[in-house]
Amino acid sequence: MVLIFKSGIALVFLWSCPRPSGCYNTLRIKGYFMRPHVVVNVAMSADGKISTRERRQVKISGPEDFLRVDRLKAASDAVMVGIGTVLADDPSLTVKSDDLKRKRKEQGKDEHPVRVIVDSTARIPLSASVLRKGEGVRVVAVSRKADPAKVAELEHLAKVIVAGEDDVDLRSVLDQLGSMGVRHMMVEGGGTLIASLFGNGLVDEFYTFVGNIIIGGVDAPTPADGGGFIKEVDFPRLALLEAIHMGEGVVLHWNVKEGNKK
């Protein structure tokens, strides 16, 4: 029997009856995991685009929002992006503020959270900033489609998690991150990964910085791309927690309603 509590803790009870005369139950805790709390953060233009149609990174927010995002990252155990973002922007996903890095060290942590890249076929370049810059653990989550030779090379730079046949199985990755001690994870994009996380009911909180520019373009990425939801019953529902005027834009902080999390 498996009991899964709301917190994500799973207890597997094994019932055994070794002697016919005195059947008794042996309780053994076999498995334990806790899926991380997932907070998505993204910056978009006033018309809802997160980069140009050429997938070129653009400055959407300002210094106040950079600091908010840096604080969010520093407070997280892990930060995740999709391979599309790594190939487009080559982010390092490091904490930028010296003060926040020092505080993490004082708490006995690495300067930077665990950096997680979702990359089914292990396309990530070995020179990627996220694999090279700053101390700390890296995780590359691949599927069984990934080339074993590339995986072997990556294993010198990162822990490689294999999950899923074609795309990466995000639920399995989150469970494995949970078993590594990741309790709080920030997701920095892009739109394809965020859409998948929403589609799988894996998002808990959603921050959007809405900036004062129009990017336009029907093919420009948005915060949740992918195939989209068709039926209203499938639309993830949010509750607004805060709307904060920040610099020349606004930060919207949403909670994902309980029925929309799996």
Q: In terms of CB distance, is 175 or 225 closer to ligand NAP?
A: 225
SS3 readout for 225-257: CCCCCCCHHHCCCEEEEEEEEECCEEEEEEEEC
Q: Name the segment binding ligand NAP (CB under 6 A); options: 19-27, 119-127, 129-137, 234-242.
A: 119-127
240's tokens: 């607004």
Neighbouring C-beta atoms of residue 209, cutoff 10 Å: 23
Binding mask 59-98 for ligand NAP (x = CB under 6 A): -x--------------------xxxxx--xx---------
Please identify, using beta-carbon distances, which residue of 181 and 217 lies nearer to ligand NAP: 217
Q: In whole angstroms, what is the distance from residue 121 CA to residue 93 CA?
A: 21
At 43 the three-state DSSP class reads: strand
Asked if 187 interacts with ligand NAP (CB under 6 A), we say no
By CB under 6 A, residue 222 contacts ligand NAP: no
Binding segment for ligand NAP (CB under 6 A), chosen from 13-21, 103-111, 190-198, 232-240, is 190-198
The 10 Å CB-count burial string (b at 16+, else e) for 132-156 is eebebebbbbbbeebeeebeeebee
Q: Which residues contact 26 (CB under 8 A, 6 or more apart)?
A: 14, 15, 16
Cβ at position 14, least distance to ligand NAP in Å: 32
Decide: is 42 part of the binding site for ligand NAP (CB under 6 A). Answer: yes
In this chain, which stretch among 94-102, 108-116, 186-194, 233-241 interacts with ligand NAP, using CB under 6 A?
186-194
The verdict on 139 binding ligand NAP (CB under 6 A) reads no
Q: Which of 43, 95, 158, 215 binds ligand NAP (CB under 6 A)?
A: 43
Q: Tell me the C-alpha distance between 110 and 13, whole Å.
A: 36
Is 109 an interacting residue with respect to ligand NAP (CB under 6 A)? Answer: no
Tokens of 86: 């790594």
- The secondary structure of the chain in percent helix, strand, coil, rounded to multiples of 5, reads 25, 25, 55
Binding footprint of ligand NAP on the chain (CB under 6 A): 42-43, 50-51, 55, 57, 60, 81-85, 88-89, 118-121, 123, 167-168, 170, 188-193, 196, 221, 225
